[in-house]
Chains A and B, each alone.
Chain A
Amino acid sequence: MNYIALKMLIGDRGKYLGIVMGLTFASLIMTQQPAIFLGLMSRSYSFVSDVGLPDIWVMDPKVQFVDDVKPMQDTELYRVRGVAGVAWAVPLYKGLIKARLYDGTFQTCNLIGLDDATLIGGPPAILSGKLEDLRRSDGVIVDIEGAKTKLAKAPESAGGNPIPLTIGDTLELNDRRAVVVGIAKNTRTFQSQPVIYTTYNRALLYAPRERKLLSFVIVKAKPGQNIDELALRINRTTGLAAYTQEQFKALTYNYFLKNTGIPINFGISVTLGFIVGAAIAGQTFYNFTLENLRQFGVLKAMGTSNGVLLRMILLQAVLVGSIGYGMGVGLTALFGYAMRNTILAFKFPWQLLVFSGMGVSMICVFAALLSIRKVIMLEPAVVFKG
């Protein structure tokens, strides 16, 4: 009877494709929109991910997320270094600065100051130049996206393409000269501003004058040291906030979740997608069963039990559900692949596959239940009605 169920389903190409397309759409929107959402949210803590080496980030207790820098006194660095279990602790500057471009316009940039001695906290990949070149006079490293777009030089002719910054080009940061000594690749940030790396002490020169300038202390634990315990110890000893990488990411992520409209907007989009997809697929599948009700009646009259009919409908639902889910997820993956080098945020973890799989399953079960009820209630004598 399974074969008959499949032929009933696939034999009617138009309706079959309609159901599959409905489920594909539902599955696509249930994976693609959350993938963009997750991609966008992961950008909020991309800086923390890029600075991968330290175990613990130490900061002012009032900091709410990674860009919410509340500077500390430089002496805090030495207090942190004095905590038992700390292998090393280095300063990190993070702040916004205005760069004056070739054409006289200004561009707000993220300025990152790395420990002069160790250069810990640098970009994850250097595309040209070397990290050590930061020690050269006025040296800065610029991220590739910034170099190609927002910091690029004006085109030579009107309507031409901007000319990317290259090694040797100069910028003006807070009325001070900065020479590009390298181009780096980093993960795009939430605000997508250009990122400029330099040494900690030079960053303090570029930065606007403030009484306190130390943004973060980044800490490596001694081998064998429990990182959570060390974070707690730093907090108790210094009174500063100390987070592991994951905690700091979660702090940032949660801030954006709670204080921006992003989750609500995407949530509405995903919910609407789910409802529309469920309505299309459910309605089409239900209609498909309704239109086949007479055929189910014939089978029932001939002696097919309700159990077998249920199995047939479930098989049909599982088949269209699986194909629709596979196509939707496949299209999302293709979308992500096609957009990998663009500004679009996209993150597709396995949890999302489970989420959309459950969503599509719910739609199929719902549609199947509606149909099954109709078939169970069906009086086989309907077959004699004209």
Chain B
Amino acid sequence: MIDKSLAVFCQQIVKTYDTGSQKITALQGIDLEVHLGELMMLVGPSGCGKTTLISVMAGILDQDSGICSVFGEDLLKLKNHEKLKFRARNIGFVFQSYNLLPTLSAAENVSIPLIINGMKRQQAARKAAEVLALVGLADRTESLPSELSGGQQQRVAIARAMIHSPRLIVCDEPTSALDHETGQHVLELLKSVALDSSRALVIVTHDARIFEFADRIAQMDDGKVIRVQQSRVEH
């Protein structure tokens, strides 16, 4: 029985990639829970399966076996269009390389999730301006990504990830392209604006400097979660 009070519930998740010549098992029976209101970090060496795991959690990759339930929905049981709708409403993404659309202004980039969810463009643009103000970019709404610094681009990406109030935000190395100070600001921002008791944040990172922001840290190695521990720094 899936506990609906959990944001994410993973049980015995296995994922194998078939590269033709060989099969690579990226996840080897992952068991993990992410609680509502929690900032969970996934850490571990490269190739240990962190990104595969958040892809499964975000519903953009199907596991071969096991259960991945997000807010009580078993993602594997959803039909394609249901999964699309689920993602559009409930999942926000923050990427290592920002993945902003280069020909769209900051406000237009931020408004994309709202437009996907059916909001009119002008209305979405107004809301995007508000959210950009929230992340400290009120004066850069019309700037193209190429006109923004790395930290500003990541703030735009955060604004995009949270504009439609998703209940789960997955972040892949959100600070790896940023200097220490900017990385700290980005994490502070994420935690302050995107996290509350009805939401959860899952961050994949190598960056030990931001571990202090985690509520719990899941250590992964070789496709398994080898340890889950409380963050050493209490907030």
Asked if A305 and B84 sit within 8 Å, CB to CB, the answer is yes
Which residues in chain B, 86-100, are within 8 Å of chain A measured between CB atoms? 86-89, 91, 93, 95-97, 99
Residues of B within 8 A of A302 (CB): 87-88, 91, 93, 112-113, 116
Least Cβ–Cβ distance between A379 and chain B, in angstroms: 7
Tell yes or no: B235 within 8 A of A by CB: no
A217 to chain B, nearest CB (A): 71
Which B112-132 residues have C-beta < 8 A from chain A? Answer: 112-113, 115-117, 121
Chain A's interface size range is 20 to 34
CB-based contact B99/A381 at 8 Å? no
Contact B116 A299 (CB under 8 A): yes
| A7 & B108 in contact (Cβ 8 Å cutoff) | yes
Which residues of B (51-94) have their CB < 8 Å from a CB of A? 51-52, 54-55, 58, 60-61, 81, 84-89, 91, 93
Whether B101 lies near A295 (C-beta < 8 A) is: yes
> In whole Å, how far is A13's beta carbon from the nearest beta carbon of chain B?
9
Tell me if A337 is interfacial: C-beta within 8 Å of chain B: no
For the complex of A and B, 9 pairs with smallest distance between CB atoms: A11-B103, A303-B88, A380-B60, A303-B87, A381-B55, A381-B61, A384-B51, A298-B99, A381-B60
A114 smallest CB distance to B (angstroms): 69
Write out the residue numbers on chain A whose beta carbons fall within 8 Å of the beta carbon of B116.
1, 299, 302-304
Interface: B104 (CB within 8 A): yes
21 A-B pairs (CB sep. < 8 Å)? A1-B115, A4-B112, A7-B101, A7-B103, A8-B103, A11-B104, A294-B99, A298-B99, A299-B112, A301-B93, A302-B88, A302-B93, A302-B112, A302-B116, A303-B87, A303-B91, A383-B60, A383-B99, A384-B55, A384-B96, A384-B172
Given contacts A12-B102, A386-B97, 6 further A-B contacts (CB under 8 A): A1-B116, A12-B103, A383-B99, A384-B55, A384-B95, A386-B96
Tell me the bound Cα distance from A225 to B97 in angstroms. Answer: 82
| A344-386 with Cβ < 8 A to chain B | 379-381, 383-386
Interchain CA distance A3-B61 in the complex, whole Å: 28
In angstroms, how far is the closest chain A Cβ from the Cβ of B101? 5
* A4 with B51, Cβ < 8 A, contacts A381-B61, A386-B97 known: no
**CB neighbours of B87 from chain A (8 A):** 301-303
Say how far B147's CB is from chain A's closest CB, in angstroms: 13
Contacts of A92-142 to chain B: CB distance below 8 A = none
- Cβ distance B80 to chain A, nearest Cβ, rounded Å: 8
CB distance from A251 to the nearest CB of B (A): 58
Q: Which of A154-213 contact B (CB under 8 A)?
A: none
Residues of B at the A interface (CB closer than 8 Å) are 51-52, 54-55, 58, 60-61, 81, 84-89, 91, 93, 95-97, 99, 101-104, 108, 112-113, 115-117, 121, 172
Partner of B60, one of A1, A301, A386: A301
Is the beta-carbon distance between B89 and A303 smaller than 8 angstroms? Answer: yes
Complex formed: what's the CA distance from A239 to B28 in Å?
94
**Closest CB of chain B to A242's CB: distance in Å?**
67
Could you tell me the distance between the alpha carbons of A303 and B60 in the complex, rounded to whole angstroms? 9
Query: Which residues on the A side are within 8 Å of B60 (C-beta)?
Result: 300-301, 379-381, 383
- How near does chain B come to A384, taking the closest CB pair, in angstroms? 5
Q: What is the bound-complex CA distance between A267 and B101, given in angstroms?
A: 43
Please name all residues of chain A whose beta carbon is closer than 8 Å to the beta carbon of B55 when the two chains form the complex. Answer: 381, 384
Distance of A163 Cα from B224 Cα, bound (Å): 97
- Taking a contact as CB atoms under 8 Å apart, the answer to whether B89 and A4 are in contact is no
A51 CB to closest chain B CB (Å) equals 61
Provide the bound-state CA to CA distance between A4 and B112, in Å.
Answer: 8
A378 to B91, CA, bound (A): 19
Q: Which residue of A lies closest to B85 (CB)?
A: A303
Chain A CB count within 10 A is highest, among B51, B81, B84, B113, for: B84
For window 23-54 of A, CB contacts with B under 8 Å fall at none
- Chain B residue with Cβ nearest A385: B51
A10–B103 alpha-carbon span in the complex (Å): 8
Chain A residues lying within 8 Å of B86, measured Cβ to Cβ, are 303
Most chain B beta-carbon contacts within 10 A, residue among A3, A299, A301:
A301
- Chain A residue nearest to B160 (CB atoms) is A302
Say whether, besides A1-B116, A4-B108, A384-B55, A295 and B61 are in contact (CB < 8 Å): no
Chain B residues within an 8 Å CB radius of A11: 102-104
User: In the assembly, what is the distance between CA of A386 and CA of B87, in Å?
Assistant: 21
CA distance A176 to B81 in the complex (A): 91
| Residue from the list A7, A304, A305, A383 in contact with B104, Cβ < 8 A | A7
Q: Of A3, A302, A380, which is in contact with the most chain B CB atoms at under 10 Å from its CB?
A: A302
A379 engages B108 (CB within 8 Å): no
When the two chains form their complex, are residues A8 and B97 in contact, meaning their CB atoms are under 8 A apart? no
* Assembly CA distance A381 to B101 (angstroms): 17
* Nearest Cβ on chain B to A247's Cβ, whole angstroms: 58
Chain B residues positioned under 8 Å from A10 (CB to CB): 103
B93 engages A383 (CB within 8 Å): yes
> In the complex, what distance in Å separates the CA atom of A383 from the CA atom of B81?
19
Min C-beta distance of B82 to chain A, whole Å: 11
A8 touches B101 (CB 8 A): yes
Q: Which residue of A lies closest to B60 (CB)?
A: A380
Min CB gap A76→B, angstroms: 76
In the bound complex, CA of A126 to CA of B20 (Å): 81
Q: Are A303 and B84 in contact (CB under 8 A)?
A: yes
Set of chain A residues within 8 Å of B52, measured between Cβ atoms: 381
Q: Using Cβ atoms and an 8 Å threshold, which residues of chain A touch B51? A: 384-385
A298 contacts across to B, CB distance below 8 A: 93, 95, 99, 101
Give the Cβ gap from A19 to chain B, nearest Cβ, in Å: 14
